Amino acid sequence: MIDTGLANKVVIVTGAAAGIGLATARRFAQEGARVASWDVKDVEAQPNGIFQKVDVTSAASVEAALDELGAPYVLVNNAGILRDAQLVKYKDGVLVGSMSDEQFDSVINVNLKAVFTCTRAVVPRMIAAGGGVILSASSVVGLYGNFGQTNYVASKAGVIGMTKVWARELGKYKIRVNAVAPGYIATEMIRQMPEKIQQAMVGHTPLGRVGEPQDVANAYAWLASDQASFITGTVLSVDGGAVTGT
């Protein structure tokens, strides 16, 4: 077995109650990391880990959780939500709907600002400890857009931008910063979509299947490991080729 350098390291995974977050927490636990699972929903702590009820949109909640942990080596900014709507929607020449301020703001707050809030809080602790790894969830739609997702795409494109800035700013402190851009992953969110839409997703994926949460978790674990020690400021697409397949 290859030594990834993650054994006994403190790893925070936000949005760890289900889906990619839960799979990621489990994956790091397999590497012997001490996993802190953060979510607003209750979740079972991973082996050699703890669960902390944290609202990642609240700086006070994040700081309180960190005070209990000490210095993390890895932060995985995974928490995210969807609030899909068209910018404006017309039917028979009449405006029948639009994306609301609440839909836009709530997605930006969780998917983008919370990444900023958590990273800002963690980085001083990483610097004091001699380095670390910041990993954040973008999306393939942050690279090429998607119908009905102005808010979501804006948040995920913003994550890419912040990742590149932080890689430049924090490299001198031995902190690596990368993003992962998942494609169509078989989470509860995807399973709730109509079968026709799910099949269309598969049709746009050259590998011919929807991804599994474990596929993304493996990417996070590799990027956090010593095997990726010279990689920073990059976006790793985990999408089965979906970008080229659209």
DSSP codes of every residue in 125-175: HHHHHT-EEEEEE--THHHH--TTBHHHHHHHHHHHHHHHHHHHHHGGGTE
Burial 51-79 (b: 16+ CB within 10 A, else e): bbebbbbebebbeebbeeeebbbbbbbbb
Residues 134 and 168: beta-carbon distance below 8 Å: no
Query: Any idea which residue has 């493996």 for tokens?
Result: 218
> Catalytic site residues?
152
Q: What SS3 class is residue 77?
A: strand
Helical spans, DSSP H, in the chain: 19-30, 59-69, 101-108, 114-129, 141-144, 150-170, 188-191, 195-203, 213-224, 242-245
